[in-house]
Chains A and B, each alone.
Chain A
Amino acid sequence: MSLAVPNEAERLARAASLFRRRQFADAALAFAEAASASPTATLSARAVLGEARARWAVGDAPAARDAASRAASLDPDLVAAPLLLARIAAADGNRAGVITHLRRAASLRPASATLRARIATLLADLGRTEEALAAAREALAADPDCESAALIVARCHLARGNPTLARLAVARLARHHPDHPALVPILGARPPEPRPEQAPPDTAPPEPEPARLAAPTPLRPRAPSLLDHLAIIRACMLRGLAVKYAGNPFWLPLELVRPTCVVGAHWLLFAVLQKSMPGQIPIPLFVLAGFSVWFAFNYAAIGAANAVNHPAGATAWPGVTLTHLRLARASWPLLVNLTFCLLATVPFRLVRADLPVPNLPMTFLVFAVAGAAGIGYGTLAERVTSVVPAFAIAEKLISWLLFVTCGLYFVVYDTTPLIAKFLLYNPLLHLIDFERHAFDPGYPIAYVDLRYPAAFAFSLLLLCLVAGQSVRHPAGAAP
Chain B
Amino acid sequence: MIHFRGASCSLARRSAPLTLLLMPTDLDIPSDASVALVGGSPDARTALLHLIAHRAAPDAGTVTHDRRVSPIINDERLLHPALTVLANLRFIARAQFLDERLLLRAVDRFCGLALLLSEQVRSLDGGQRRTLETAIVAALPYELVLLDNAQQMPLPAIAFLREAARARGAGLIFASAGPRPARLHADLALLLQGGRLRLESDPGLAASRIEREAA
Contact = CB atoms under 8 A, between A and B. Distances in A.
Q: Do A and B bind each other?
A: yes
B16 to A, nearest CB: 13
B17 to A, nearest CB: 15
A200 interface: yes
Nearest to A242: B87
Consensus secondary structure, chain A interface: loop
B64 A216 contact: yes
Contacts of B72: 316
B94 A165 contact: no
A interface, how many residues as a size bin? 35 or more
Contacts of B196: 209
Interface in A211-231: 211-213, 215-216, 219-220, 222, 228, 231
A110 interface: no
Nearest to B47: A475
A141 interface: yes
Interface stretch (B49-57, B107-115, B174-182): B49-57
B78 A164 contact: no
A479 interface: yes
B202 A140 contact: yes
B59 to A, nearest CB: 8
Interface in A221-247: 222, 228, 231-232, 234-236, 238-239, 242-243, 246
A210 B27 CA distance: 8
B26 interface: yes
B11 A165 contact: no
B116 interface: no
A235 B50 contact: no
A46 to B, nearest CB: 36
A473 B50 CA distance: 11
Given A164-B30, A475-B9, A475-B51, A313 B56 contact: no
A232 B95 contact: yes
Given A318-B69, A475-B11, A479-B55, A165 B5 contact: no
B128 interface: no
Given A197-B26, A316-B71, A318-B70, A474 B92 contact: no
Given A212-B6, A320-B95, A475-B21, A198 B78 contact: no
Interface string A55-71: 00000000000000000
Interface of B: 1, 3, 5-6, 9-12, 21, 26-28, 30, 32-33, 43, 46-47, 50-51, 55-58, 64-66, 68-72, 76-83, 87-88, 90-92, 94-97, 142, 166, 169, 187-188, 193, 196, 198-202, 204-205, 209
